[in-house]
Amino acid sequence: MDAGKAILDTVDKFRQRRTAPLVLELDLTEGLTEGPPADPLAAVLSMRKPRLSDVLSGLKRARQDSRVKALIVKIGGNPLGLAMVQELRQAVIHFRASGKLTVAFAETFGEFGNATVPYYLASAFERVYLQPSGDVGLTGVALEQRFFKGTLEKLGVHFEGGQRHEYKTAANMFTQDHMTDPHRESMARIVESVIEQVTTGIADGRRLDPAKVRELVDRGPFIGAEALEAGLVDGMAYRDEVYEEVKQAAGGDAHLQFVSRYARGAAVRKLPQPTADGIALVHGTGQIRSGRSGRSPLGGGGAMGSDTVSAALRAARRDEHVKAVVFRVDSPGGSYVASDTVWREVVLTRKVKPVIVSMGDVAASGGYFVSMAADVIVAQPGTLTGSIGVFAGKPVTGGLLERLGISSEVVAEGGNAGMFSTTRAFSPEQWERVNAWLDRIYDDFVGKVAEGRGLTRDRAHDLARGRVWTGADAQDNGLVDELGGLEDALGLARKRAGLAADAPVRVYPRLNPLERLRGPESSEDKAAALTRVRLEAWGPLARLSAELGLPVAGPLSLPGWYVIR
């Protein structure tokens, strides 16, 4: 009797859950991941992180779902990139326009520290609540550059490098002791463009005059009570108070559910037929390198392997049920040769079906190289892109070794056999080869930009020269076609392919468990797109290797100091 009652109670509770008002929840404490795990290690490291595509698709579906009454987002301390924040803001604004309640809650926006970008995200919500002990670190945008030339000289190390052209500043931290004029000009415009975007967004979201917001930025950071008085937040409350208020506004019996779980549940209920026509989504994330994508067990982020991404594009190109491809790029660049390999697959795919590139936080240098051949490039206003240029060099450590009492001798056959040794400088003849190599890469890069973007070569060169642009400025200059996010790119792909607005999206490569276990039959097999743990990778030293121009990183790299969070 008791067992039967327990079963009936469980069924009743389940029925109530299926019919009760729904409050969607998103916890950004641990941040977001760009796409599906690229390898087993990434799967473990991202277990507790929501996936951006799940959040976007969930919020899009929820706009039309009468059960969903509200969205509440906890904004935590793990910083998100500016473009990803703009992607979330766009989704929240559309959700809010459907007449549903949107609430942002933070324990603090920076504990009396800078949190301009997290607060910019919160400003898109109808209500913003702050824990009584919290602060609002609205202080503006700053890009800081450190220079190590003086330190290297004291150690007896000299860095030799060349670049094309004056805005390609990746190696300046080793070759200069201050910003060059082009370096300062480029960074100043990025900061100016970003603060324009942030100020406008906060003004719109908080219904404040833009001049007032700019004044507040100059006055920040704010103690919680000051933020409340300035109209930056709507109330001071603890989590339990905020969540209870939202539940009551949605209906007393409202049920909480994470956005990503809501999105996956909807996807399970509406599984597309394997033969249904749809869109392929290919992710290219991290430093670009030859070989397969993967992550170092030492950490430091993943890499976009040219073999992996190329195999995924080939699989999508050959699938007759794939009518268009969206290539999601979030990369600061890396190897020129690997970038060119991926570029070629984009060109070949575009000949068969539409290719739309969706740029994430950064798609610059090699990240722009792999993108430029697409039919349409979509970026967020805050995406960092361009950096069409090249650099290379090496640290000369002979002086340091001499100070340490270490001597070095070389026995070689071939005039330039010891050219890349770090114990001695380039000879004049070797510099001729370095400059010929830099010229060849730059000419190829600019020529392909002109061809892909429909520009004259002179115009492409004017926009290149190594300069980094925000997505907003890149669009003004023709390097980007449209401003928007992943959902916009998917919508464009469906339209170009003549598909319905709800046509399915499949992440490529699509492999069943057996295909994953047996491995690829050849380089043409879609299983060749599997990723791996890269035991030989630099891990957390990957960024340093990129800035040194070492081969593992490659000559098409964007320096890390440009990242805005």
Structure tokens, 56: 């976007």
Instruction: Report the SS3 class of residue 484.
Output: coil
- pLDDT of amino acid 189: 94
- pLDDT of amino acid 148: 86
Residues 6+ apart with CB under 8 A from 28: 50, 73, 74, 75, 76, 78, 80
> 272-559 has which CATH code?
3.90.226.10
Q: Evaluate the CA torsion angle 89, 388, 468, 332 in order and state its sign.
A: positive
Instruction: Report the SS3 class of residue 69.
Output: strand
Stated as kind and residue range, the H or E segment containing 71 is strand 68-74
User: CA separation (Å) from 283 to 220, 255, 303?
Assistant: 38, 34, 11
Identify the DSSP state of 526.
Answer: G
Q: What is the dihedral of CA 271, 276, 277, 281, to 10 degrees?
A: 30
Residues 6+ apart with CB under 8 A from 11: none
For strand 355-364 and strand 376-379, is the pairing parallel, antiparallel, or unpaired? parallel
- pLDDT of amino acid 44: 53
Cβ-contact 323, 312 below 8 angstroms:
no
Cβ-contact 22, 254 below 8 angstroms:
yes
Which CATH topology does 19-137+223-265 take? 2-enoyl-CoA Hydratase; Chain A, domain 1 (3.90.226)
Cβ-contact 133, 157 below 8 angstroms:
no
Structure tokens, 386: 């361009």
Cβ-contact 288, 335 below 8 angstroms:
yes
Spatial separation of the C-alpha atoms in residues 517 and 519, rounded to whole Å? 6
Spatial separation of the C-alpha atoms in residues 192 and 74, rounded to whole Å? 29
Residues 6+ apart with CB under 8 A from 217: 116, 138, 139, 140, 195, 198, 199
pTM (predicted TM-score): 0.87
Widest distance between CA atoms in the chain: 94
Q: What is the pLDDT of residues 509-550, one digit of tens each?
A: 665 555 544 555 555 555 555 555 444 444 445 555 544 544
Q: What is the dihedral of CA 432, 437, 438, 444, to 10 degrees?
A: 140
Spatial separation of the C-alpha atoms in residues 507 and 498, rounded to whole Å? 20
First-residue to last-residue Cα distance in the chain? 59
Report which residue type is found at 294: G
- Phi, then psi, of 13 in degrees rounded to 5: -65, -40
Burial class (CB in 10 A: 0-12, 13-18, 19+), 204: middle
Instruction: Report the SS3 class of residue 298.
Output: coil
Q: In the chain, what are the domain boundaries? A: 19-137+223-265, 272-559
Within the chain, which residues score under 50 in pLDDT? 8, 11-12, 299, 516-517, 533-540, 546-547, 549-552
Q: What is the dihedral of CA 120, 122, 123, 125, to 10 degrees?
A: 150
Fold: same for 19-137+223-265 and 272-559: yes
**CB neighbour burial string for 281-307, b if at least 16 within 10 angstroms, e if fewer:** bbbbbbbbbbebbbbbeeebbbbbbbb
Q: Provide the H-helix boundaries in 171-301.
A: 172-175, 181-206, 210-219, 224-229, 239-250, 259-269
Q: How many CB atoms lie within 10 A of CB 13?
A: 11
Spatial separation of the C-alpha atoms in residues 405 and 424, rounded to whole Å? 16
